[in-house]
Structure 1
């Protein structure tokens, strides 16, 4: 179907699954403009001249826009003159939902002091202010809401808690986002369930592994996350970590792989080794999780020629050990690790072992297979 519009004031937009024509020009009022730009004197004058405080012309009230732009002085002014701290936008969002920047902390404090509900769920998404702050990596906002009784167990429309939101939004890269790790730590200390999964059975650990965040993954595992649980598609956290290797080549996947194996993850299917074949350190960690080196036909062909030459000693050592018995020392290592299970990393540091032997037990990289 071809629709030709006569007016250039209309644009196509997607609303609730339907493509509709909506006005291009956004409607607003002077008070909303003044509040969003921090013009406190102008806003005061407009209010004194009778401007309606909670008018939602264009979908949002002045308080919404002031919070969006982190204009704390205007937020204070509006609240002083009696605007409602829980006024909802046409989208069903409260002003607290729109405190999404670090600079908006003072706005959030003013709102909760005036009775803003920290557990208020948005109409459609059902996210709470805690969900929003967690996804934005705002540790101080999270601490504020938790101190005001925010419920860490509340779920959004996708069945996800604030912990899921924080882990999902964590930045890519080794160690992940420090801000999101701090948020996750706060939530876990407040009693958030590290195993809580959304409707697709995707846990915070799945999200951390999909982002390649080893530090965040270890934090979740220390608080009870399960390294072997599959999501709705049947993928384990290790599967997500392997996929992240291909999508984010600048990671150090061997660190994440070691963390998962130390907390009870099972060795990957040999067919999956091809996903990390061009990361010799990561490949070594995974190969050392087997009692013998499996057939290499699945991953050898995936190694780039220049990489093979650069790490020829390692790849050659792996090839020479295919279907050959491993050293008794390696088999003893696997036996100890199996006995310790998901306590391997923590328990190993309490064993009276020399540092070299402790590192060996924890699958340290040696750049060769023996």
Structure 2
């Protein structure tokens, strides 16, 4: 059917053009192969096939490639040898000099091929010309292939072009990663879709780290990528060389309080797909440890609702509560009382009184922790750590806590602790299900009141 007889869309015309170009290229390749067979590979042809690649440091060649100047590329790359030459670039990088005792600029040479340069920068027309001239689609000079670079930079048009002309969707870089491993930005979703449509293996593991594309996407909080991989059969139980699952990668990748929404959404998808909330790596670090270390309260609550253990210790003997205390020191100016409350509601033990000093300047968090005791312990360790200006601002709370040291608590508080002890790690769920007034429910769950009674 002629193009003028049907209202083709631009996307359809582009697909037809790419398909026609691929068919023309395939015809030339088959004709060359048939000629080689008919002549039984004469010495000249064999020499051409095994001849080493040419190296090039010509600035004019590099400028044409790196700037995407199609006219210059067409003028410079007119045959297969030119299209497959090795382009050597040199740049200065900082390196530590033990002899001189300081950082120095050191020249570093990098090798690649023209097609990889064009694909990395999204120069689709230049890449098409190089392919027409016989550029090897899966060449890995310098480490990655052209398809790796196109995915890493989220150039979906180049990915489509390379796949249309026969690039391998599962080509391995010298580091042992596939192009799907390099779809690491939200903009690369279309690249991932094209790769999977072309037969990319979703559960392939990187050679050294044994990370799958699902691990990579989860660690970066890429919700749509994770959904795509799960829809194509990604296995949530696969582990890295360190024994980490994709769920652990998602919790470790959360960047801190207030910034873990995308990672929380990823974790929810993984849990709904059957991920184990208690799965620990080789150091027995669970997803909950990671969420607490990053100060992500909502993410920790999600894990606890799906069966994560609030009192489990890692190989260093640290519980999730210990991780929160460490996060308090490393990440000031946040509100850890949500995390403390969630862990206590799901069965975590109160912190050692000596550790209260880490929350001395966070009155809301300190109140939650103090209300986990039947009697306010000696406060010498944390009182000295309170900043004078903070004491003045929250004098009512600090004074009430100081007055209750080693004093009998109210019967109401003791009854609260008795109910919580009876419910154990089911405290949060029971409070949601019991027909309690909202005020009583909040009191049972250690709501912040601004004073100790």
User: What aligned pairs does 1:34-183 form with structure 2 within 5 A after superposition?
Assistant: 34-174=118-258, 176-183=259-266
Residue-pair matches, total:
356
CA distance in 2, matches of 1:321, 1:153: 49
Shift of 1:10: 8.6
1:41-82 deviation line (CA, Å, top 9, x unaligned): 111111010101111111111000000000111101101111
Alignment correspondent of 2:293: 210
1:201-232 deviation line (CA, Å, top 9, x unaligned): 11110000011110000000000000000111
User: Aligned with 1:58: secondary structure?
Assistant: coil
Alignment correspondent of 1:264: 347
Shift of 1:11: 7.3
Alignment correspondent of 1:16: none
CA distance in 2, matches of 1:10, 1:333: 62
User: Aligned with 1:25: secondary structure?
Assistant: strand
Alignment correspondent of 2:423: 340
Alignment counterpart, residue 278 of structure 1, candidates 358, 361, 371: 361
CA distance in 1, matches of 2:161, 2:110: 25
Alignment correspondent of 2:320: 237
TM-score, normalising length from structure 2? 0.76
Shift of 1:25: 2.3
- Tell me if the contact between 1:11 and 1:24 (Cα under 8 Å) persists in the aligned partners: no
Higher relative contact order (CA 8 A, sep 6+): 1
User: What aligned pairs does 1:271-350 form with structure 2 within 5 A after superposition?
Assistant: 271-350=354-433
Alignment correspondent of 1:255: 338
Aligned alpha-carbon RMSD (Å): 1.7
- Larger Rg over CA atoms: 2
- Tell me if the contact between 2:91 and 2:109 (Cα under 8 Å) persists in the aligned partners: no
- Tell me if the contact between 1:173 and 1:250 (Cα under 8 Å) persists in the aligned partners: no
TM-score, normalising length from structure 1? 0.93
CA distance in 2, matches of 1:353, 1:265: 23
- Whether 1:201 aligns to 2:321 is no
CA distance in 2, matches of 1:129, 1:118: 7
Unaligned residue ranges in structure 1 (runs of 5+): 1-6, 14-21
Shift of 1:23: 6.9
CA distance in 1, matches of 2:94, 2:212: 31
CA distance in 2, matches of 1:209, 1:177: 12
CA distance in 2, matches of 1:252, 1:316: 21
CA distance in 1, matches of 2:292, 2:333: 14
User: Aligned with 1:42: secondary structure?
Assistant: helix
User: Aligned with 1:240: secondary structure?
Assistant: helix
CA distance in 1, matches of 2:436, 2:267: 33
Unaligned residue ranges in structure 2 (runs of 5+): 1-89, 97-105
1:297-327 deviation line (CA, Å, top 9, x unaligned): 1211111111111111111111111111111
